[in-house]
Structure 1
Amino acid sequence: MKVVIAIDSLKGSLSSLEAGAAVREGILRADPSCEVAIRPLADGGEGTVEALTLGMGGKLRELSVKGPLGESTLAVYGILPESHTAILEISQAAGIMLVPKEKRNPLHTTSFGVGEMILDAVQRGCRRFIVGIGGSATNDGGIGMLQALGYEFLDASGKPLPFGAKGLRGLSEIRIDKALPELRECRFRIACDVTNPLCGENGCSAVFGPQKGADPAVIPEMDRWLSHYAKLSRAFFETADPDAPGAGAAGGLGFAFLSYTNAVLESGVRIVLKETRLSDFIKDADLVITGEGRLDAQTIMGKAPIGVAGIAKEYGKPVIAFSGSVSEDAVKCNAHGIDAFFPILRRAEPLSRCMEAKTAKRNLADTAEQVFRLLNAAKQLKGH
């Protein structure tokens, strides 16, 4: 039997590749004759860099950049040398998890470190970029990132704007003549499932500002500053459309990418599935295995396991999913390509214990083993 495993990370426990290895271990215990292929899986969010880079034979690079509060932080991104591709997650440099809760305030947080990561990748020959854009702590419209790439944002006296959304308050002039020349050669695929515009009641300030620690009184002000920024940007770039779906992603980083770089916003799952050529493996498989940390009704809303199941069904392949936990409404997944799913928790244990990598690996391997023993038993029954 040929089995393809493409399982998303069990966040806080196992990476995509670690989860896949655990499933393979359980399968081979039950049936050593199985031919098992593990493929990386992610949805463009946390874990995408590791899944794509290591799963496609690339290398990880660590560098020091400015974090969201302007402090030094270590960021990791991936490089695929053969295709001159860099794989980034903006959360590595501008993520909300990098900011203590008591210090969260988008007036002060910057996306500058994201630009430093891009600059480093460009200097190493990368011209193709895959960028996961979720989990930001910022609402600066991406000007921090653009400043790191050579764009100038100046106040009325000609001084560079300070970091954070508060810098936009004094924006008077934009200069593009010192922008990194190599950017013209670069292509950006932005993994983004957010459709919010830059401004307005559905814009980044109103919708995501409160989650990032914004005071309600300052939200309308940030919205006005971003609107002015968009208007000035329009003088240089025809693509500077604040109403474009996704322009409000990551505090306006979506707008910055769409306006100032050669970028397209795409479903994170679709990018990963295409880049890893998963369909090439599935078409020759007998069975496909997927899964994620928690399987529920939201899984069918374009999350990674449903993307895998969709490809499998194009080739008429059965699909099994494993999950750390499942909700009652997870049965909706059965109508979206997942033929059967199995929670891996096998005994009553504290959540902290269940989340330990060692425990999660054991539970995943043991569950996979028993499922494949059942499949073997079913084959014997069919023979009778």
Structure 2
Amino acid sequence: MTLVIAPNALKGSCSARAAAGALAAGVRRAAPEAEIRQVPVADGGDGLLEIACTSLGAEHCERRVTGPDFIPVEAAFAWLPGERTALIEMALASGLALLAPAERDPSATTTLGTGELMREALALGAETLFIGLGGSATNDGGIGMASALGYRFLDAQGRALRPVGAALAHIARIDSTGVDPRLSGVRIEAMCDVENPLTGATGAAATYAPQKGATPETVAVLEAGLRQLAERLRQDLGCEVDAVPGAGAAGGLGAGLMAFCAAALRPGAELVLDLVGLEGALEGADLVLTAEGRIDAQSASGKAPAAVAARARRHGIPCIGVGGSVGDEIGALHGLGLDAVFSLCPGPMELAEAERRVEELLAKTAEQVVRAFLAGPG
């Protein structure tokens, strides 16, 4: 029997690599002779850097950059020197987890540090950049990132604006005369798991800014600012990115990467699955196990477990998911190829306890999943 174990990180409690190890331990208790292929995955957000370093053998490059609140932070990117490729997890420089709840304000945060990581990768000679867009603290439309790469955002008096969400509405002109020339020789792919446009009812401000600490009044200010940014991108750069699916990712960083860096937006999970070689691991497998912190209806929209399940189905392999919690409406996931979903919690349990025991619970659940699978008709 051959099993592929391809979990995402369980955010806040367990990395993808640790989750794979725990699931494998449970499998071995039920099927000691099984061949187990561990392929930790991600969807472009939490865990991308770890997977790049552990699964791809990338170098871990740490740099001091500007944090989302302009306080310096230590952040890192993954570097594959042979391929001249860098993988950047924007949340490590500009993420919500870097701020205490009371400090979160998407009108005052910046993606400047993400741009600084990109600049550091260019200094190493990067020819390809993969940028994961999950977990941002920002709603600046990517102007912070662009500022680190030489763009200037000027008000009506010609003064440079601070690159934060609150400044977007005051942009009168985008100055690109000082843009880093190395940008023209690099391929950039932005990895996102959402399809939100830049503006509107499902745009960056309306959908995500409240999760980052914005009041309704702040959301309105940010929405007006993103609309102004979209207009300036049309007028000054000739870029029409407002309605592109994914433009609203990471507070509009998706739009910024397209407009300022000619980046392509790609589903993060699909790109990661290609990078870690899931297709090869699926060859000849009998069962696939995947996992995530919460599996629900939203998981069908580009999340890693759904992408794993879809590929398993194309190979004709059953796929079973394990979640820290499981939502009520998961029928779409069954349609994609996730044949069954189990909660790792054996009963009512406080979140803190589930997080503390997560690897133990993953192992126990995996054991029972495999026992049930082996008890079925051969």
**C-alpha spacing 1:26/1:238, structure 2 compared with 1 (3 Å):** same
TM-score, normalised to structure 1, is 0.88
Unmatched runs of 5 consecutive residues or more in structure 1:
none
Unmatched runs of 5 consecutive residues or more in structure 2:
none
Task: Specify the alignment match of 1:165 in structure 2.
Answer: 165
**C-alpha spacing 1:7/1:196, structure 2 compared with 1 (3 Å):** closer
Aligned counterparts of 1:376 and 1:206: Cα–Cα separation in 2: 47
My pick for the range that moved more, 177-186 or 25-34, is 25-34
CA shift for structure 1 position 70: 0.7
Task: Specify the alignment match of 1:309 in structure 2.
Answer: 309
SS in 2 for 1:211: helix
Aligned counterparts of 2:151 and 2:328: Cα–Cα separation in 1: 50
Task: Specify the alignment match of 1:122 in structure 2.
Answer: 122
Counterpart residue type for residue 5 of structure 1:
I
**C-alpha spacing 1:230/1:24, structure 2 compared with 1 (3 Å):** same
CA shift for structure 1 position 221: 4.1
Where does 1:5-16 land on structure 2 (aligned, <5 Å)? 5-16=5-16
Task: Specify the alignment match of 1:255 in structure 2.
Answer: 255
SS in 2 for 1:83: coil
2:233–2:239 CA contact under 8 A, matched in 1: no
Task: Specify the alignment match of 1:242 in structure 2.
Answer: 242
Aligned-pair identity (%): 39
**C-alpha spacing 1:252/1:281, structure 2 compared with 1 (3 Å):** same
My pick for the range that moved more, 277-286 or 367-376, is 367-376
Counterpart residue type for residue 369 of structure 1:
E
Aligned counterparts of 1:210 and 1:217: Cα–Cα separation in 2: 10
Alignment of 1:352 with 2:345, yes or no, is: no
> What is the aligned residue count?
378
Task: Specify the alignment match of 2:282 in structure 1.
Answer: 282
* CA deviation string 1:56-94 (max 9, x = no partner): 221322221111111111222222223222222222222
Task: Specify the alignment match of 1:362 in structure 2.
Answer: 360
Larger Rg: 1
Q: Could you say what the CA RMSD is over the residues aligned between the two structures, in angstroms? A: 2.5
TM-score, normalised to structure 2, is 0.90
Counterpart residue type for residue 134 of structure 1:
G
CA shift for structure 1 position 19: 0.9
* CA deviation string 1:158-189 (max 9, x = no partner): 43212312333443332212211111111221
1:114–1:145 CA contact under 8 A, matched in 2: yes
2:188–2:264 CA contact under 8 A, matched in 1: yes
**C-alpha spacing 1:135/1:369, structure 2 compared with 1 (3 Å):** closer
CA shift for structure 1 position 376: 4.8
SS in 2 for 1:243: coil
Aligned counterparts of 2:220 and 2:13: Cα–Cα separation in 1: 39
2:295–2:323 CA contact under 8 A, matched in 1: yes
CA shift for structure 1 position 353: 2.0
1:6–1:41 CA contact under 8 A, matched in 2: yes
**C-alpha spacing 1:312/1:152, structure 2 compared with 1 (3 Å):** same
SS in 2 for 1:355: helix
2:43–2:192 CA contact under 8 A, matched in 1: no
Aligned counterparts of 2:40 and 2:358: Cα–Cα separation in 1: 18
SS in 1 for 2:46: coil
